[in-house]
Amino acid sequence: MSTIPITPDPADEPWVLPDRGTIGMACLIIAESAIFVIFVVAYIFYMGQGLGGPTPKQVLELPIFTTICLLSSSLTLHWAVVGLRKSKIGAFNAWLAATVVLGAIFLIGTGMEWYHLIYVDGLTIQTNLFGTTFYSLVGLHATHVIVGLLMLIAALIFGLTGHVDEKHAHRMDVLSLYWHFVDAVWVIVFTVVYVLGR
C-alpha cells in the first residue's frame, strides 16, 4: 500500500441527485410538447384554408365552462398533493375526487361539442381541412386528458382503499406534473383553435 497524499473532494460532501421520476416526466413532457407543436403548427398552417364546408366561425362555440373546470382541476390536484404531504388522507381523497370530476366534466363537454359538430353541423374529419386539423388537435389533447384521468382514478382508488400515505407524495408530484402539462396545453389549444381560429 503506497501512501498517497490525496486531497480530493471532502468525503462528507453530500451526493444528492434529482429524482428520476421528475426527470423522466420532464423528458416525457418535452417529447409530448414537440408532438403538440407539430399539430398546432399544422392547425395554424391550414387556418382559413378549407375548401368549403363549415368554417370555425359558423360552428365553433367558446367552451368557457369546461375550460374553467379543466384549469381549476390543476388547483384541486395541487391541494390534494399538499394534503397528502401533510398526511391528511381525507383531504387528499376529497380534492383528488374533485379533480377527477372536473376532468370528467371537461371530457363530457368535449364529447357533447363533437356530437353537435358531427350530427348537427355535419363537420367530420373528412369534411375539410378545418375538420381534419380540429379533430386531430383537440382529439390529441382529449386523449391526454383520458390518460391522465385514468391515472388519477387509479390514484383515487388507492387512496380510498387506504394504500396511500405521505411517502407516496413524490409519485403524486410526478402525476400532477403531467396533469398540469395537459392543462397548459389546453390553454394553447384554446387560444389557437377557439380564439385565433375564429
Residues that bind other proteins (CB under 8 A): 1-4, 6, 8-9, 15, 17-20, 23-24, 27-28, 30-35, 37-39, 42, 45-46, 49-51, 125-126, 128-129, 131-133, 135-136, 140
Separation of alpha carbons 99 and 71, rounded Å: 10
Give 141-177 as a DSSP string.
HHHHHHHHHHHHHHHHHHHHTT---GGGHHHHHHHHH
Nearer residue to other proteins within complex by CB, 20 or 167: 20
Nearer residue to other proteins within complex by CB, 45 or 115: 45
Nearer residue to other proteins within complex by CB, 8 or 90: 8
Q: Let me know: does 172 contact 81? Beta carbons within 8 Å.
A: yes
Cα angle, residue 193 at apex, residues 188 and 196 outer, rounded to 5°: 90
* Smallest distance from other proteins to CB 20, Å: 4
Q: Is 47 left (phi over 0), alpha (psi -120 to 50) or beta?
A: beta
* Smallest distance from other proteins to CB 53, Å: 10
Nearer residue to other proteins within complex by CB, 73 or 128: 128
- For residue 161 the three cell numbers come to 382503499
Nearer residue to other proteins within complex by CB, 18 or 162: 18
* Smallest distance from other proteins to CB 8, Å: 4
Give the helix, strand, coil percentages of the chain, each rounded to 5.
75, 0, 25
Q: Let me know: does 141 contact 182? Beta carbons within 8 Å.
A: yes
* Smallest distance from other proteins to CB 87, Å: 27
* Smallest distance from other proteins to CB 17, Å: 5
